[in-house]
Chains A and B, each alone.
Chain A
Amino acid sequence: MNDVASPSPSPPPPPPPIEMSDVSCIFGNQKVLWNLNLQISAGETVAIVGESGCGKSVTMKVMMQLLSQTSGQLKWFGKEVQLMASEERRTQRLKLGYLFQGAALFDSLTISENVAFGLRQSGSFSEHEIREIVLARLTEVGLTFDIFNKRPSEISGGMQKRVGLARALALNPDVMFYDEPTTGLDPVNSRRIDDLIYSVREAHGVTGIIVTHDLRTVQRVADRIIMLYPRAKISDGESQVIFNGSIAELADSSDSRVRDYIGDELDTRSTRKFASPLKNDSRRIA
């Protein structure tokens, strides 16, 4: 028996929310992803960039298991997804939110029904609770009462993206995936979405993974950048991840492929973060 109490060991760090090991994804004869290894730590915001066809969106869809990998291992919160029973996988997936490129709102439902969809499907909330959450989330993304009963086709693209974000946030996810969140939006709406991505992280401590071509968005919101390169353009044995680091490291990269991609767009001097710009100020983005 020990008389002297030994110092209690520090708790092990939480497992990374997303971890991919040797993941390959092949469509027909086309190798889109090949032996990809990525790890996303809790709380960070990671931007995945790269030229068209390099497999950015496929990577994110595999992470979310909207597409199944051909081989390799994917872990959510330290648990291998392939070994989960379907019910466990469904429960774990509720910890992941996804903002689709075109918002992917359900045409047949109203805005508030869209946001309530995941809550109703989960079966864990009363109608009163659902109404409160829907109201809170739509207000959080800066939308006002007058659009709640409209159909998705009756609102603008920027608003649709915000409704998509509210819908993804309704279930209070630990990880948010953003698939080209600012594509097709004007600069004002792009900044609104960037603000929201940043404020979601600040307000909820959500881990973020963003696929984008917009380097201004990357500068504004990302802690880490992963650059992928098309599998067809690299030699066997070479990793598809040609860059993995911070904005400052990206600007200093000597890799010609990285330099070609960023061109003159990246200005590390203008890199900035927002100070929770949306708190209590829904009018600003409404």
Chain B
Amino acid sequence: MSTTTANPITVLGRLTQEFFCGFGGLAVFGFQMLAGMRRGLPRRHVLVPILYEVGVRSVPVVLVTGTFIGMVMAVQTYNQFKMMHMESRLGAIITMTLVSELGPVLAATMLAGRVGSSMAAELGTMRVTEQVHAISALGADPVSYLVVPRFLACVTLIPLLTAIADSVGILAGWLFSWQVLGINSQHYWMYAEQFVTGWDVVAGLIKSVFFGCAIAIIACRQGFHCGAGAEGVGRAATQSFVLSFISILGLDFLLTVVLNTTYYMIWPQAVSLAVAGV
């Protein structure tokens, strides 16, 4: 019986090695993708179907996600705010939460599942059936032809889809608060406007750009390096979603810290106002 497999230090070492190898592999793949982009942008007939697949076909998923987040937010916060007689400020909390956190993170998570897994499975199948080799054999660069358009589609359209999710969530939250919870419509929008700044909207969209990068690079790399057969393709799709989800959460934390720090560096008076509770 092997004792090395049960040794926790060995397991920890192996996991650490796998983590850094995986991270390094992603970085190398990202640089290959950037090099592919430098060689030229994809042609329209290649890019448009991918934009359609990533953007247009994701709209229903994003609409459903945004609508339910907005309504759930209204339900969850209403009772808490009512105890403090602050239910008229529901618009502020729903808008702020959706724009800066829940909208970008949940929209990206849904898109990691719908778009990322689909990309990983598609590229994995192309790998397994030697279509990726065929692209090389015909004098084209597989990274430029397959990865660059998908990366561009994710980077440009995931922020747009996030904006749609945010808007629909805010509208759904307003409709539910007004029609079901009896919140004054004017108060909803007034407090939303008072508490949510342009920076919050921009910060949320900046996050979604990074989430789009992460989803595209992880999904394409998993597809390009998938194992043999149907099992390999299935594993690539699953790993793509899991790794994208972890990356979204990790990036969200890092970006929140960085963006908040940047905000207070640019507007230091905001710190004193926040401490004073204004």
Contacts and interface: CB of A to CB of B under 8 A. Distances in A.
A61 B49 CA distance: 31
Nearest to A100: B130
Contacts of A101: 130
B139 A100 contact: no
B31 to A, nearest CB: 15
Chain B, interface SS category: helix
B131 interface: yes
B134 A94 contact: no
Chain A, interface SS category: mixed
B137 A121 contact: no
Contacts, number: 51
Contact of A121 (B49, B131, B133, B139): B139
A260 to B, nearest CB: 29
Nearest to A179: B130
A56 B131 CA distance: 20
Interface in B49-107: 49
B138 A121 contact: yes
B50 to A, nearest CB: 10
A40 B24 CA distance: 39
A106 B139 contact: no
Contact of B138 (A61, A108, A167): A167
Interface string A95-138: 01110111011111000000001100110000000000000000
A33 interface: no
Nearest to A96: B137
Interface of B: 49, 125-126, 129-131, 133-134, 136-141, 145
Interface of A: 61, 64, 66, 90-91, 93-94, 96-98, 100-102, 104-108, 117-118, 121-122, 167-168, 171
Q: Which 7 A-B pairs have the closest CB atoms?
A: A118-B138, A104-B134, A104-B130, A98-B137, A121-B140, A94-B139, A66-B133
20 contacts: A64-B137, A66-B133, A66-B136, A90-B139, A91-B139, A93-B136, A94-B139, A96-B137, A98-B134, A98-B137, A100-B133, A104-B133, A106-B126, A107-B125, A117-B138, A117-B140, A121-B138, A121-B139, A121-B145, A171-B139
Given A93-B139, A121-B140, 18 more contacts: A66-B136, A90-B139, A93-B137, A100-B130, A100-B133, A101-B130, A102-B130, A104-B133, A104-B134, A105-B134, A106-B126, A117-B138, A117-B140, A118-B138, A121-B138, A121-B145, A122-B139, A167-B138
